[in-house]
Structure 1
């Protein structure tokens, strides 16, 4: 099923069942790695809220969650400017931190956030992303867990939007060329 958002047409790219299967596998790996620990998951809003909810439902162990919000997109392009509208409100000194991202493309948002985190001396920091666009990376960001590597096409669905629309779709769609 194709969808139209604003002035663009999108076609199916990754089905919900594939997304859920990959999330379940990552949650199992994280549960094993953090057995007998209480990590703090930090979810990058708005896009990662679906991913965060589904991953944490499958995480088997004690954990805490916090949210931060950065914005870098306008329409289908990164603005190049990063603005933070919800900041870290939890003490992370000495904590095991797991950053949850919906998508890493240029890596600029994460590069900015990682610099902020360093000031608070966490014990460890891991990056978990549902989607990675390796060809778009402009910063030295190394994700520890990757759901899917994808091309540098614009996508929507499963929390990702195009000017506010499309987050609510269960599948991920790619812009039709």
Structure 2
């Protein structure tokens, strides 16, 4: 979906489709360099990371395998509860593997901190994070994130996998939404 399709629902486009793809290419080049000669297990966090994971995997020149997890800490609200539930676990054994978690956005960092710790307990060679977006002002924990696309203000954003009530995930840019959408 193009931003013109829903322009009345958007307040401001933060990053265009072209800017996102440039950043994905840049992140992939750094990941390829850092993981040279090693296979990577990309772990996507459903549902938001679907776009990042797909585009990043195609931009990499390294061999990758992919797996998915679904975790929840939001409940019915728009802020993290801090209590994490695994809704879908990995199918892969992590023992000795180089795991790269692909994330759409890091808000408080609570869920990702829990997830990273959980995956590290499974015996991988390494666990790192690649997030397209991060909200430094929303952080509630100190979390080491090796690859970050963009740091953004603490605003609610949609597009490129991010949603409000399951809508806007297929928007090809990242944007803030107009108040009438969520009021």
Q: TM over 0.5, yes or no?
A: yes
Partner of 1:158: 160
Mapped partners of 1:169, 1:10: distance in 2: 14
Mapped partners of 2:170, 2:11: distance in 1: 14
Please state which structure has a larger fraction of its residues in strand. Answer: 1
Partner of 2:63: 62
**For structure 1, which runs of at least 5 residues remain unmatched after alignment?**
none
SS at match of 2:73: strand
**For structure 2, which runs of at least 5 residues remain unmatched after alignment?**
none
Partner of 1:46: 47
Mapped partners of 2:73, 2:157: distance in 1: 15
Mapped partners of 2:95, 2:8: distance in 1: 45
| Further displaced range: 152-161 or 31-40 | 31-40
Mapped partners of 2:8, 2:174: distance in 1: 11
Mapped partners of 2:8, 2:100: distance in 1: 33
Partner of 2:31: 30
Pick the aligned partner of 2:92 from 90, 112, 132: 90
Mapped partners of 1:167, 1:60: distance in 2: 26
Please state which structure has a larger fraction of its residues in helix. Answer: 2
Mapped partners of 2:147, 2:33: distance in 1: 13
Mapped partners of 1:104, 1:64: distance in 2: 23
CA RMSD of aligned residues (A): 1.5
Mapped partners of 1:172, 1:98: distance in 2: 23
Partner of 2:130: 128
Is contact 1:155–1:174 with CA below 8 Å preserved after alignment?
yes
Residue 3 of structure 1 deviates from its aligned partner by 4.0
Per-residue CA distance 1:106-136 (angstroms, 9 max, x = gap): 0111111122112211111111000000010
Mapped partners of 1:138, 1:71: distance in 2: 17
Output the TM-score relative to the length of structure 2: 0.88
Runs of 4+ in 1 over 6 A off after TM superposition: none
Partner of 2:83: 81
Partner of 1:147: 149
